[in-house]
């Protein structure tokens, strides 16, 4: 295959360490014989507009700066390519002699890499295409976990430590809504800073289980009656047995004004809104008379709070970016994964798997990470997730 140019883009919701992957990629890419190393501004959108920046000219100190920059240094985008888009992309690649395509993102980005690879093959244009994983949702198949998750989990665990102490001080019921439309990984991380049974969160509701409002109210009341307080972690994506979001069904059943907005894809807008937390607060207030009930929705802070990043996560994010270049020397296409080693101290190796194994799929929390008979996580989850956060010190807590 002719050498040609390489292009990289970033896609989807940023994470605290997505730029580490970009820098890992660049550092390895400048040692290759690519004609040029292009960064596409705002992912696919940048490629379609041929809005590129030359990444091979960056100094060491600029690379360091990028690695410390929150969110996507190239700009990001939420875009699923149409068939036309793919055709256009391939023709631009051909025109520009781009032979290597790297895309940092979630399962949609793996799918995009796959579509580009297949689209090029169809017209006989030789190309290599690789997906570099990132998502705070931690919901990609094949990989042990996703870069971005460890830092988000760290933020969530620390946030709950403080918020739980706040709730202990003023008592009442506190509901915190976490990101996670399909998988509860980040919501589950709310438990990682707990020292004792009495610490919150006391209840954890994830999309892997069907949400039942009556049971929820019973659970909350039970904890509140027993401790005089209750801290709850709820995934934004809680839903009924038909997979309909709680917020959506509740709003249509009750005509509640907290219904929330739909986004441009017609999905109900779960992020960037406090609607779910406020709705649950109102319901709990009515059900448990006299209780002080409050909700917070952690929102975008979960993926962008740079003052509290997991070092493990940062290092791995750089390594998967770097390894994408290495993998492209041997293979035609693939998705980079982390594979946990069985050793006394935590370590993940990098490897590459076929794109279709990752594309479009969602990895839910497995059964063994969730308690069967109560809304809570197991110790297996704790052991899985803790190393990814860089370690959460137990909260010092002396309540006298």
Min separation Cβ 155 and a copy of itself, Å = 8
Which of the ranges 95-103, 255-263, 359-367, 382-390 carries the binding residues for a copy of itself, by CB under 8 A?
255-263
Does residue number 281 form part of the binding site for a copy of itself (CB under 8 A)? Answer: yes
What does the alpha-carbon distance between residue 338 and residue 324 come to, in Å, rounded to a whole number? 12
Q: How far apart are the first and last CA of the chain?
A: 71
How many residues lie near a copy of itself (CB under 8 A)? 72
β-pairing, 333-340 vs 128-133, is: parallel
HSE of 185, CA atoms in CB hemisphere, 13 A: 30
Q: Where are the alpha helices (DSSP H) in the chain?
A: 18-29, 43-48, 60-68, 83-96, 107-122, 149-170, 185-188, 213-227, 246-254, 275-287, 301-304, 311-330, 379-385
Does residue number 256 form part of the binding site for a copy of itself (CB under 8 A)? Answer: yes
Residues 193-252 interacting with a copy of itself (rule: CB under 8 A)? none
Interface residue with a copy of itself, options 4, 9, 14, 237 (CB under 8 A): 14
The per-residue DSSP string of 73-133 comes to: TT-----PPPHHHHHHHHHHHHHHTEEEEEEEESHHHHHHHHHHHHHHHHTT---EEEEEE
Does residue number 16 form part of the binding site for a copy of itself (CB under 8 A)? Answer: yes
Nearer CB in complex with a copy of itself: 4/46: 46
Min separation Cβ 210 and a copy of itself, Å = 25
- Torsions phi, psi of 41, nearest 5? -75, 130
Site string for a copy of itself, 156-185 (x = CB under 8 A): --xx-xxx-xx-xxxx--x-----------
Beta bridge partners of 337: 351
Nearer CB in complex with a copy of itself: 223/270: 270
Q: Where are the beta strands (DSSP E) in 111-269?
A: 128-133, 172-178, 203-205, 229-235
Residues 58-87 interacting with a copy of itself (rule: CB under 8 A)? 58, 62, 65-66, 68-78
Interface residue with a copy of itself, options 274, 311, 361, 387 (CB under 8 A): 274
Min separation Cβ 159 and a copy of itself, Å = 5
What does the alpha-carbon distance between residue 88 and residue 192 come to, in Å, rounded to a whole number? 46
Nearer CB in complex with a copy of itself: 120/179: 179
Does residue number 285 form part of the binding site for a copy of itself (CB under 8 A)? Answer: yes
Residues 22-61 interacting with a copy of itself (rule: CB under 8 A)? 39, 41, 53, 55, 58
Query: Quick one: tokens of 121?
Result: 């093959």
| Residues 6+ away with beta carbon under 8 Å from 391 | none
Interface residue with a copy of itself, options 112, 114, 138, 297 (CB under 8 A): 297
Does residue number 295 form part of the binding site for a copy of itself (CB under 8 A)? Answer: yes
Query: Quick one: tokens of 90?
Result: 């391939």
Interface residue with a copy of itself, options 282, 311, 347, 387 (CB under 8 A): 282
Min separation Cβ 395 and a copy of itself, Å = 7
Residues 299-318 interacting with a copy of itself (rule: CB under 8 A)? 299-301, 303-308
Does residue number 387 form part of the binding site for a copy of itself (CB under 8 A)? Answer: no
Interface residue with a copy of itself, options 56, 91, 240, 271 (CB under 8 A): 271
What does the alpha-carbon distance between residue 329 and residue 312 come to, in Å, rounded to a whole number? 26
Q: Could you tell me the strand order of the sheet in which 203-205 lies?
A: 203-205, 229-235, 172-178, 293-297
Q: Which residues are catalytic?
A: 137
Min separation Cβ 111 and a copy of itself, Å = 19
Which of the ranges 129-137, 142-150, 254-262, 336-344 carries the binding residues for a copy of itself, by CB under 8 A?
254-262
Nearer CB in complex with a copy of itself: 300/382: 300
Does residue number 258 form part of the binding site for a copy of itself (CB under 8 A)? Answer: yes
Nearer CB in complex with a copy of itself: 2/257: 257
What does the alpha-carbon distance between residue 75 and residue 203 come to, in Å, rounded to a whole number? 37
Structure-derived torsion over alpha carbons of residues 362, 367, 369, 371, reported in degrees to the nearest 10: 130
Residues 353-382 interacting with a copy of itself (rule: CB under 8 A)? none
Contact 317, 91 (CB under 8 A): no
- The 10 Å CB-count burial string (b at 16+, else e) for 247-286 is bbebbeeeebebbbeeeeeeebebbebebbbbbbbebbee
Does residue number 347 form part of the binding site for a copy of itself (CB under 8 A)? Answer: no
Nearer CB in complex with a copy of itself: 70/387: 70
């Amino acid at each position: 295959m002719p050498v040609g140019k390489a292009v990289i883009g970033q896609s989807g919701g940023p994470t605290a360490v997505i730029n580490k992957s970009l820098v890992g990629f660049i550092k390895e890419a400048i040692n290759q014989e690519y004609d040029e190393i292009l960064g596409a501004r705002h992912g696919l959108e940048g490629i379609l507009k041929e809005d590129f920046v030359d990444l091979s000219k960056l100094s060491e100190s600029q690379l360091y700066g990028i690695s410390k920059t929150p969110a996507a240094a190239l700009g990001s985008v939420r875009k699923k390519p149409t068939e036309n888009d793919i055709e256009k992309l391939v023709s631009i690649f051909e025109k520009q002699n781009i032979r290597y395509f790297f895309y940092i993102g979630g399962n949609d980005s793996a799918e995009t890499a796959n579509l580009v690879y297949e689209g090029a093959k169809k017209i006989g244009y030789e190309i290599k295409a690789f997906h570099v994983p990132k998502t705070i949702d931690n919901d990609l198949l094949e990989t042990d976990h996703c870069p971005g998750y460890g830092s988000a989990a760290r933020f969530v665990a620390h946030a709950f430590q403080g918020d739980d102490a706040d709730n202990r001080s003023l008592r009442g019921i506190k509901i915190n809504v976490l990101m996670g439309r399909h998988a509860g990984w980040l919501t589950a991380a709310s438990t990682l800073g707990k020292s004792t049974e009495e610490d919150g969160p006391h209840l954890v509701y994830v999309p892997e289980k069907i949400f039942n409002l009556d049971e929820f109210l019973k659970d909350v009341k039970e904890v509140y009656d027993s401790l005089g307080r209750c801290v709850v972690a709820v995934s934004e994506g809680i839903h009924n047995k038909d997979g309909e979001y709680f917020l959506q069904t509740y709003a249509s059943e009750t005509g509640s004004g907290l219904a929330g907005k739909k986004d441009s894809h017609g999905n109900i807008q779960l992020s960037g809104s406090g609607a779910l937390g406020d709705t649950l607060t109102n319901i709990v207030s009515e059900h448990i008379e006299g209780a002080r009930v409050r909700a917070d929705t952690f929102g975008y802070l979960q993926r962008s709070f740079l003052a509290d990043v997991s070092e493990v996560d940062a290092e791995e994010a750089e390594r998967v970016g770097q390894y994408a270049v290495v993998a492209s020397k041997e293979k035609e296409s693939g998705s980079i994964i982390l594979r946990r080693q069985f050793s006394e101290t935590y370590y993940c190796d990098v490897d590459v798997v076929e794109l279709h194994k990752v594309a479009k799929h969602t990895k839910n929390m497995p059964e063994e990470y969730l308690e069967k008979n109560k809304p809570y996580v197991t110790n297996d989850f704790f052991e899985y997730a803790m190393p990814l956060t860089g370690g959460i010190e137990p909260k010092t807590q002396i309540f006298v």
